[in-house]
Structure 1
Amino acid sequence: MTAATPMPGAPRILRETAAGLTSIGIYDEMLSRRELALIGEVQEWVSFELCQHLLFLERQDPAAEITLFISSPGGSVSAGLAVVDVMAAISCPVRTVCLDRAASMGAVIFTMGDRREMSAHAELMIHDPLIQQGAGGSALAVRETSQRLMETRRTMSTLLAERSGLTLKRVQSLTAKDTFLSAERACELGFADAIISSRKEAAHA
């Protein structure tokens, strides 16, 4: 689910125009503020729409920051890497915000942000790529699948190592199993930059 494809029943807002009151989808309003959302599983169509919106916002203003809100259990590695590549290719800085959970490929996309923030109770989950259900075949086919999986593992762990400052060996020790990281722990390890602070507390400070 992206900012371009709202969920059924997504909220709408009223805006006064010269023609009177106009109902606008909240995701259209977000797009006008250079805000995108990756909600749910990372799939090919989600990746395509997200990439198109990143490129569209770059054409609008090559220097202005884009904010990408993430709440995702992960999904397709190839689809996720397409988003990672576009984030790296565009000139705009991309701020990523983990709302509640960014897991697997969702966590990798989150860590690619130029500015990475997490809600106070959000968490990341990182792990090695998994064999797809139904994978099998001859011994040679299984060996080739295993080799490709190891190549993908190295690609993913290298990205996480580069973005966190941890060694590749340290990252792979974390991704060898499902590793859940609180916002505080993610910041300590270099996978996030900051925890979103309360505006209420700041207003009364």
Structure 2
Amino acid sequence: MKKFWSMLLNGTTAEITIFGEIVSSGYEWDDSDTSALSFQKDLKELGEVDTINLHINSPGGSVFDGVAIYQMLVQHKAIVNTYIDGLAASIASVIAMAGDRIYIPRNAMIMVHNPWTIVMGNATDLRKQADDLEKIGQSMQESYLSKIGDKITAEKLTELLNEETWLSATEAVEYGFADEILEENRVAACISDKLFADYKNVPEKLKKKTESESLLAKKIKILRGA
């Protein structure tokens, strides 16, 4: 089953969506989940296209799969336009940087932070994991810097990553994470209570908005007799 939908316009333009979590291959438990393997297969099926319009509304997920998806898009010959339809958080924000041009609605957000993991083992294991995380973090920084250019310094980027920074559309353009602000849209941010626990600086307005939409969904189910 395809993990994103595509529409070819005159055989030259493809519309691609990543509207869920980025997961490792074999863990695509939900239709909205995207792994590097599923993305690669579906991207190959598109054939020769000149333009890819990439729509993102994702809380992030697997760093390695996300980096692989980013590289596939960067290496693709097509022009890539990225649209942050709701939220591009964590590794999803790295994927967004593959866009030759990045568009973000006024009510959308980008979140950046350092990679983290859960590990068990002895002192040697823990030190190795810390070293590995630093290397992964450096790779992510290179992806951001390749898009940001001279908008902010590497030191400022490190500060944003260390603090788990949630960027509004205005801040995203100011710092170079996006190129153009679009009018507000009605796409809800793709985030859950589980992810509220994972991230420490989730904006209160985003929590309230998601809670409100969740209650509305429950009411609609009741009215429908579901």
Mapping 1:55-204, distance limit 5 Å: 55-57=44-46, 59-61=47-49, 64-130=50-116, 132-133=117-118, 135-165=119-149, 166-197=152-183
For the pair 1:31 / 2:7, whether they are aligned, the reply is yes
CA contact (8 A) 1:36 1:69 kept: yes
| Greater strand fraction, Structure 1 or Structure 2 | 1
Deviation for aligned residue 1:162: 1.9
Which letter maps to 1:196?
A: L
CA contact (8 A) 1:98 1:119 kept: yes
The count of aligned residue pairs is 170
C-alpha separation between the residues in 1 aligned to 2:136 and 2:123? 20
Match of 2:39 in 1: 50
| Stretches of 4+ aligned residues off by more than 4 angstroms | none
C-alpha separation between the residues in 2 aligned to 1:94 and 1:56? 17
Q: Which runs of 5+ in 2 are unaligned?
A: 26-33, 185-226
Q: Which runs of 5+ in 1 are unaligned?
A: 7-26, 199-205
CA contact (8 A) 1:73 1:102 kept: yes
Q: Compare CA radii of gyration and give the structure with the larger one.
A: 1
- The root-mean-square deviation of aligned C-alpha atoms, in Å, is 1.9
* 1:92-151 deviations in Å (ceiling 9; x for gaps): 011111111110001111122111111220000000001x23x02111111100100011
* 1:41-76 deviations in Å (ceiling 9; x for gaps): 11124222222333333x323xx1111110000100
Deviation for aligned residue 1:155: 0.9
Which letter maps to 1:154?
A: Q
